Chain A
């Protein structure tokens, strides 16, 4: 059995354990989630199940798009959050909400994530070293943040402000099966596109020119990954808001188990992202805070140090990825 398959199976099993645990755990302890009383059924099946499934799907989408973007840009610091795709997706959704087109929010999230992905890959394709690419992403993220603030400022309906702020912090509280369906559909589309680019990502291990010289079609690889990452990130952000660092942390953890081949990282990174976010959501629910900690905040608290660690390790190797 290959390391990838072993890792995928282990992480899928971890995902299932986390998902089941998430049905038991929460502010109201549930002894038997399969009990037939009204209260248990409502808490477990109407509240917790959609919530944890949303968390898993968003995490999987971010883990997968992170692994794909890292392969495409040959940079272990790349992910939807760092590169500004999440920020732009949130901006698209915020615009839809603020200006009264709420049903269009998912579409806007995908379209805006796509715009960011096209921008960052175009600007970052020829970037020298990991740092300059990250700087481009930081610029795009800050720009998206500024525009979100502007949209909130100009929003005709200030009552929605609190909702919107919540959303830019990232949360899966109060999600329904509709959210689950939306995230699953966009993850399926994104995954299909990204897996079609897997061989191209392997070829890019040799660098751009040598990858083309062994016969890889780089423009198709790039298009597939950009579209796939936009679908994944748009979907994840539309249902869970901005959640950073899962896309960096998941492939990073998986490399230790499954090796560095960018194609073989894709599936396990998706499972790792899903499991990570479900665990983070369990932690958020169990922490005895007055207001529930936002999932995006928790993810950043865990992921931020991981990002710093990878960046420091890269810097010590002279910026070589």
Chain B
């Protein structure tokens, strides 16, 4: 079986700048991969290139097909995408937003089959949105909005989740809740690749870390292998180290 996502020597140039430089990476089913790196390292570009949303050189394969040659429907059946700043332009209800995740299965928010409805209900429950499901998107907090958009991506039931900072703006407990959802998706055979600035959360959640800097992968592997003081300093320009405390991690940066 081919990988859910495979990038081979992929480069992307945005406005004359090399945003990604000969990146090679694979995401298999059962895996959670965290993309780390400073602002502008290329995390978002990598996720967008994986979906064919930006022109890229090199070979990209989304479940065996080049995303640039797929229709949006074929792409949506292979991967669900959560952009960095997800929008709800019209203040529809949380439930209607989550139901948009069923679009590719032919559903509309006001026309859900029993299968669609149960996918929507499960995603709403997983993201702890049950009490909010009838609220409007402009009536809930930033963290609640982030969870609603994540639930939308989960309801899509795509094998691969491409999530751009899914825990941005969430409190630590909620971020851990999201981490559990990602692990659960992988446990069911799906693949997850998510970007974050939360190094400790990434270390505690991901099976594999991909550390980016200026469009290059500077470290890759299990958290304790990839996140060494040397690689963290190379990426972020500051002395830092990762420490395991109990079953969690702490990332400590020197002043």
Chain A residues in the interface with B (C-beta under 8 A): 2, 4, 74, 198-199, 202-207, 209-210, 212-218, 259-264, 321
Contact = CB atoms under 8 A, between A and B. Distances in A.
A203 B110 CA distance: 13
Contacts of A261: 90, 92, 96, 109-110
Contacts of A74: 89-90
A203 B89 contact: no
Contact of B91 (A4, A203, A212, A260): A260
A204 B75 CA distance: 17
Query: Which of A203, A206, A214, A261 is most buried by chain B, counting CB atoms within 10 A of its CB?
Result: A214
A184 B77 CA distance: 40
B51 A260 contact: no
| Main SS at interface, chain B | mixed
A4 B109 CA distance: 13
Nearest to A262: B90
Contact of A205 (B51, B75, B82, B88): B88
Contacts of A263: 108, 110
Contacts of A206: 86-89, 97, 100, 152
B73 A217 contact: yes
Given A202-B109, A205-B90, A217 B71 contact: yes
Given A260-B91, A261-B96, A210 B72 contact: no
B108 A214 contact: no
A215 B108 contact: no
Contacts of B100: 202-203, 205-206, 214
Nearest to A198: B108
A285 B49 CA distance: 61
Closest 9 CB pairs of A and B: A215-B76, A215-B104, A260-B90, A213-B81, A207-B87, A214-B103, A215-B73, A74-B89, A212-B72
Contact of B86 (A210, A217, A321): A210
B62 to A, nearest CB: 12
Contacts, number: 90
B156 interface: yes
B53 interface: yes
Interface in B145-194: 152, 156
Contacts of B104: 214-215
B42 interface: no
A214 B99 CA distance: 11
B89 A207 contact: yes
A263 B88 CA distance: 15
A206 B90 CA distance: 9
Contacts of A217: 71-73
Contacts of A259: 92-93
A199 B89 CA distance: 15
A213 B88 CA distance: 14
A207 B97 CA distance: 12
A218 B71 CA distance: 11
A205 B99 CA distance: 12
Contacts of A321: 89-90
B101 interface: yes
B83 interface: yes
A215 B110 contact: no
A217 B104 CA distance: 10
A213 B89 contact: no
B75 to A, nearest CB: 7
Interface in B34-75: 51, 53, 71-73, 75
B87 A199 contact: no
Given A4-B110, A261-B109, A203 B90 contact: no
A215 to B, nearest CB: 3
B80 A213 contact: yes
A218 B72 contact: yes
Given A261-B109, A261-B110, A210 B90 contact: no
Given A209-B83, A217-B73, A263-B110, 18 more contacts: A2-B110, A74-B89, A202-B103, A202-B109, A203-B103, A205-B89, A205-B90, A205-B100, A207-B86, A207-B89, A212-B72, A213-B51, A213-B83, A214-B101, A214-B103, A216-B72, A259-B92, A259-B93
